[in-house]
Amino acid sequence: MSLTRRPSAVTGNILYAQSGGVTSVINASAAGVIEAARAKGVKVYAARNGILGALREELIDTSKESKSAIAALRHTPGGAFGSCRYKLKSLETNRAEYERLIEVFRAHDIRWFLYNGGNDSADTALKISQLGKAMNVDIRCIGVPKTVDNDLAVTDCCPGFGSVAKYIAISTREASLDVASMAETSTKVFILEVMGRHAGWIAAAAGLAGDSADAAPHIILFPENVFDEAAFLARVKATVERVGWCTVVASEGVRNAAGQFLAEAGGRDAFGHAQLGGVAPVLAALVKEKLGYKYHWALPDYLQRSARHAAAKVDAEQAYAVGKAAVDYALKGMNAVMPVIVRSSDAPYRWNIQPAPLSKVANHEKKMPKSFITRDGFGITAAARRYLSPLIAGEAALPYGKDGLPRYVQLKNAAVAKKLPDFTP
């Protein structure tokens, strides 16, 4: 116990900030941070709207929130303190912003900066910790992993991903039952567009919906492969002729041989802009044009990454665990590390949290292994199933109100009084 006890000589506050696209479980990490810090008697400030709030000295005092409000963060999607897309430039080109952060930390006695984000955030946290040392400020930086894209290095998976994976697998299965029952006279081809940017992790997760030869999804289009129109159309046709219908799951990041996103290779809207739909309507048009099949397509967009109502239990647990571990590491005096998920067994699934150097996470991108995609390019392998399946297991608890809606918490987000001159990032 003595190791985890905070030496009485150590004082100071934690600053926690959310970064980049939010997820359905990023607030579970926040709950892990705040509850672990409270247990050690350390105050947590949160930056309003991510790093921008830190730069603007817009801090939130989380000690004003009740115990039950913080507990409710464990099941509330979105970013409770606000997040932002704002990447600090290099130390050389924008040293002023880094120095401003150090000033804010000094003004509010912030000794530990916990940055909940992806690889950009890991890079920022790393630079801040280095600059603090140079400026003679004792600031420890800990990264807290998060991204639905599952593309962070070192960690076995990323909090946020498992829940999107589960939502997409469930939705693929459900919508396919619908299509199957109507195919005789209606939709023959259903196309579901999923997130994931340049990585096919979410698309791959849809493959978990199908557990037999002709089960949906029949075709997955990965951003890792160049889109082969002829092979795609041949596969759609063969599937409709054999099964009666066809479910296609397409990653938003699918590109053609010229390197263009399919989503941008479509037509023009009423204002002459490149077509706004994603890859799904482009594929649908192609299927209609070349094969004549009736189609439907869906683009759940933010619905998938905010769907706390369909979150995976293990994902919510891991999100909480990395938040809690970040505080443990910080108070133990560690610096420039990120708690990552380490898998010790696929089945039964076993995992634990360990510290990894931020330098190994920063600016790296974890690609999906080629061995996860079947040779024909349209499906997932047994190896992919072994990896993915445990991540969507279990249903995360969620309280509902009498009104039939999930009971999500809205924090007070009380502002901390400013002490410094204004600063515009």
Q: Catalogue the active-site residues.
A: 149
Per-residue x/- mask for its own copies, residues 136 to 175, rule CB under 8 A? ------------------------------x--xxx-xxx
Instruction: Name the minimum Å distance from CB 52 to its own copies.
Output: 6
Q: Radius of gyration of the chain from Cα atoms?
A: 23
Phi, psi of 84 (to 5 degrees): -155, 160
**Interaction residues for its own copies, span 402-421 (CB under 8 A):** 402-406, 408
What number of residues does the chain have? 425
Which lies closer to its own copies via its Cβ, residue 133 or residue 288? 288
From candidates 109, 214, 229, 301, binder to its own copies by CB under 8 A = 301
Angle (CA) 303 306 308, round 5°: 115
Beta pairing partners, 351: 343
Contacting residue, 284, 322, 337, 340, with its own copies by CB under 8 A? 284
For the packed helices 229-243 and 279-291, what is the interaxial angle rounded to 10 degrees? 70
Footprint of its own copies on 208-227 (CB under 8 A): 208-209, 211
Query: Shortest gap between Cβ of 402 and its own copies (angstroms)?
Result: 7
Instruction: Rule CB under 8 A: choose which of 63, 256, 275, 381 binds its own copies.
Output: 275
- Measured between alpha carbons, how far is 378 from 228 in angstroms, rounded to an integer? 11
Q: What is the footprint of its own copies within residues 37-96 (CB under 8 A)?
A: 49-50, 52, 76-86
Residue carrying structure tokens 């730069």? 55
Check residue 269 for interaction with its own copies (CB under 8 A). Answer: yes
Residue 181 contacts its own copies per CB under 8 A: yes
Q: Which helix (H) or strand (E) holds 100?
A: helix 95-107
Query: Could you tell me if 359 and 336 are in contact, meaning their C-beta atoms sit under 8 angstroms apart?
Result: yes
CB 8: neighbour CB atoms within 10 A?
7
Alpha-carbon span 391 to 216, nearest angstrom: 20
What character string, x for contact with its own copies (CB under 8 A) and - otherwise, covers 370-389?
Answer: -------------------x
Smallest gap from Cβ 310 to its own copies, in A, equals 6
Which residue's structure tokens are 């401003």?
A: 100
Stretch that binds its own copies, among 226-234, 253-261, 354-362, 397-405 (CB under 8 A): 397-405
